[in-house]
Amino acid sequence: MLQDEVTKFEGIKINPVKNAILFTAKSHFLAVKPKKAWLDIEFVLDKKIEGFPIHKSVQATKTKWAHFMRLESTEEVDKQLLLWIRKAYVVCK
């Protein structure tokens, strides 16, 4: 479901690497890291978001913040997450 939504974005590249799937516009805006029982999701925005379901936010550059989430089921892919990923795509294209 997550990949289906993200691949609708114009001009993205999907780069599978050893431990993740990277989604790129001009720069990486989303990383999906499969684990045994969950997916770790990382995305970049131009502002910091705090609180659940974000479990960590790190300032990646002067103007960008990396956000980290853990998804344990497909039901956790909701409108809010898709909105954040859409915003990450816009920030990084």
Tokens of 10: 């114009």
Instruction: Please give the Cα distance from 6 to 92 (Å, whole number).
Output: 14
Give the global pTM: 0.90
Strand order in the sheet with 20-24: 13-17, 20-24, 28-34, 39-45, 65-71, 56-59
User: Mean per-residue pLDDT for 44-51?
Assistant: 93
**Confidence band for 35, pLDDT divided at 50, 70 and 90:** very high
Name the burial class of residue 81, with classes exposed (0-12), middle (13-18) and buried (19+) by CB atoms within 10 angstroms of its CB.
middle
pLDDT score of 74 more than 90: no
CA–CA gap between residue 6 and residue 3 (Å, rounded): 5
